[in-house]
Structure 1
Amino acid sequence: MNMIDSALGVHAQALSVRSRRMELLGLNIANSDTPSFKAKDVDFKSVLQATHSSSLSITNKGHVPLTASGSPDGEMYRIPFDTSFDGNTVEMSVEQAKFGQAAADYQATLNILENRIGGIRKALRGD
């Protein structure tokens, strides 16, 4: 781990995972009327735990990281509260609520990173 990675901590990875989650939730919302579409989500906690406790290491940029669930980026299908006749598992109210929370989480993580980077800048400039 280099000095920048250690200074930013887990927040750089967290931002990437939160970004992927928002992408998936957006896809779910966009496909709410698509027959047989299965809603996906990311288990944020398990992805971060897996990246820190994994005994596997990426030795080549082409390698795909695996998480505890066995899928890249911790993607998983969501089990719906209600079933639909067309096989679509997207529940619009659930997706919208999760997207709103994910956006707030993303912004909070971004703010933390901005503060850390600002601290590094001050240290480098000697402020």
Structure 2
Amino acid sequence: MSIFGNTFQTLEYALDFSSKRNKLISTNIANVDTPNYKRKDTSFNEILNEKLGQSFQAKQTHVKHIPFQNQSYTYKNFIQNNLQYNHNGNNVDMDKEMAQLAKNQIYYQSLVDRLNGKFHDIQTVIRGGR
């Protein structure tokens, strides 16, 4: 474990997820009128909890090498086939997508704010509490 704990790593993964989710939501919005297009989404919470509960070790070739964690996280993308909102087979609900986009943007900004707060804390410690 680093001197900062898992906070930076968790924030990194969460920011990466939010960025990927933003792209999927944008793709859904761009395809709102595409016949037979099925909305796409991604899942992150289950994977984050699963990965944070595991400890990965890289191969150390020398006793004095510092251990580090594998940072290859993936997200589960899925297509929602069971819904149909439009007569052309498309299941993108523009209102729902816009709400999801706004929610994701708020989530992303809160993560950035938290990361900035952590850096500010470190800066305060480096300056000796000033």
Alignment TM-score, normalising by the size of structure 1: 0.74
* Counterpart contact for 2:84–2:90, Cα < 8 Å: no
Computed over aligned residues only, the root mean square deviation of the Cα atoms, in angstroms, reads: 2.9
Please say which structure displays the higher CA radius of gyration: 2
CA displacement at 1:85 relative to structure 2? 3.2
CA displacement at 1:54 relative to structure 2? 5.0
User: Mean Cα displacement is larger for which, 79-88 or 92-101?
Assistant: 79-88
- Cα distance in 1, alignment partners of residues 82 and 28 from structure 2: 12
Picking from 86, 89, 114, the partner of 1:87 is 89
Moved >6 Å (runs of 4+): none
* Counterpart contact for 1:39–1:78, Cα < 8 Å: yes
* Counterpart contact for 1:39–1:90, Cα < 8 Å: yes
- Cα distance in 2, alignment partners of residues 115 and 5 from structure 1: 15
- Any residues of structure 2 matched to 1:62-77 within 5 Å, and which? 65=72, 72-77=74-79
CA displacement at 1:45 relative to structure 2? 1.4
- Cα distance in 2, alignment partners of residues 7 and 53 from structure 1: 14
CA displacement at 1:3 relative to structure 2? 3.9
- Uncovered stretches (5+) of structure 1, i.e. residues with no partner: 60-64, 67-71
Identify the residue that residue 67 of structure 2 maps to in structure 1. Answer: none
Q: Are residue 29 (structure 1) and residue 9 (structure 2) matched? A: no
Alignment TM-score, normalising by the size of structure 2: 0.72
CA displacement at 1:12 relative to structure 2? 1.8
* Per-residue Cα deviation, 1:66-98 (whole angstroms, up to 9, x for no partner): 6xxxxx422112356544332322111111111
Which residue identity is paired with 1:106? Y
- Any residues of structure 2 matched to 1:93-104 within 5 Å, and which? 93-104=95-106
Instruction: Determine what percentage of the aligned residue pairs are the same residue.
Output: 27
- Uncovered stretches (5+) of structure 2, i.e. residues with no partner: 59-71
Q: How many residues align?
A: 119
- Cα distance in 2, alignment partners of residues 105 and 50 from structure 1: 21
What SS class does the counterpart of residue 6 from structure 2 fall into?
helix
- Cα distance in 2, alignment partners of residues 80 and 120 from structure 1: 48
- Cα distance in 2, alignment partners of residues 97 and 28 from structure 1: 13
